[in-house]
Amino acid sequence: MQPIVLLFPGQGSQKPGMAHDLAEAFAPARATLDAVDAALETPLARLMFDGPADALTLTHNAQPALLAHGAALWAVLTDALGDVLGRSVVAAAGHSLGEFTAHHAAGAMDAPTAARLVRRRGTLMHEAGVARPGAMAALLGEADRPVEAICAAASADGGLVVPANYNAPGQVVISGEVAAVERAMARAKEAGIRRAVRLPVSGAFHSPLMAPAQAGLEAALADAALSDPRFPVYANVTAEPVTDAGVATALLARQLTAPVRWTEVVQALAARHPDALFVELGPGSVLAGLVRKIAPAVQVTSAGGAAEVEALLARLDVAHAG
């Protein structure tokens, strides 16, 4: 079978109806969602299926919902293909909270443990955002000077703003205190950025403003006692492969205050595995689109619903039989 790189999306990909047809079509998906509901002691699956969207979008709901969806997809694939799939996966990565889902797929933690961790992560992030309000904005297009310089200049006028997500060439998200973010948006437009758009989030994620949440997440990760991942998981913080549980634990905590280096992650994966099939597991196809911008030569596909999973299984089964 062709080598496979797994990709798991982050917050923003959630939507009402997510995983509903998956749960109806595949028993392993339903069992995974039931296990997450039991772990969280809440009917998360019902919220995923039926909404409302504003409740699903809340950080402490969106994060475990996306984890549950990714875990359900992985359960379906492993149930259908077993060891054949396990031997074919050469690496995984996830955008922000998706890195937790990647570690679940790599066997570092089971789905209930991962769901409790990201629920705690979402709660801590929300609390940090309330205690120290912040904002995030997407800068789309190319500027005539680096985004780091734009943020430094905006911060020099008071407040703090930093690059938070290096999503793809021409797509960077900044994060920080509200006034500083707004100044950086204005400076970015002066520098030639095509668009600067505020994002509907409850805090300055992936910035130093999240420091109060980091200690709490470190404690939760220590209690979870991760195992070594069975295949490398590329870290958002370093864009390097991780195969050690201790390193993974430290980097997952550092995520909260460090930028997501998604462009570098994809570049590193594409350089090491140019012939792999990159498979995004989750609702939508945001990561697949970013991969096509960052590494247009690699093969990439998305699977979030039952029909897409059936198509992916058929493709992988044919490849295995061949």
Token pair listed for 279: 């498979």
Q: Which residues fall within 8 angstroms of residue 190, CB to CB, at 6 or more apart?
A: none
**Residues 20, 69, 88, 96: which is the catalytic one?**
96
- Do the Cβ atoms of 190 and 140 come closer than 8 Å? no
- Phi/psi-derived region of residue 66, left when phi > 0, alpha when psi is between -120 and 50, beta in every other case: alpha
Four-point Cα dihedral 23, 27, 28, 31, nearest 10 = 70
Three-state secondary-structure class, residue 317: helix
For residues 99 and 67, give the distance between their C-alpha atoms in angstroms, rounded to a whole number: 9
**Residues 20, 60, 103, 206: which is the catalytic one?**
206
Q: Which residues fall within 8 angstroms of residue 46, CB to CB, at 6 or more apart?
A: none
- Do the Cβ atoms of 318 and 82 come closer than 8 Å? no
Strand partners, 258: none
For residues 167 and 6, give the distance between their C-alpha atoms in angstroms, rounded to a whole number: 17
Side-chain-side CA neighbours of residue 305 (13 Å): 11
CA angle 164, 278, 320 (to 5 degrees): 160
- Do the Cβ atoms of 207 and 177 come closer than 8 Å? no
Q: How far is CA 305 from CA 57, 63, 219, in A?
A: 19, 18, 35
Residue 88 annotated among the catalytic residues of the structure: no
Residue 302 annotated among the catalytic residues of the structure: no
**Residues acting as catalytic residues:** 96, 206
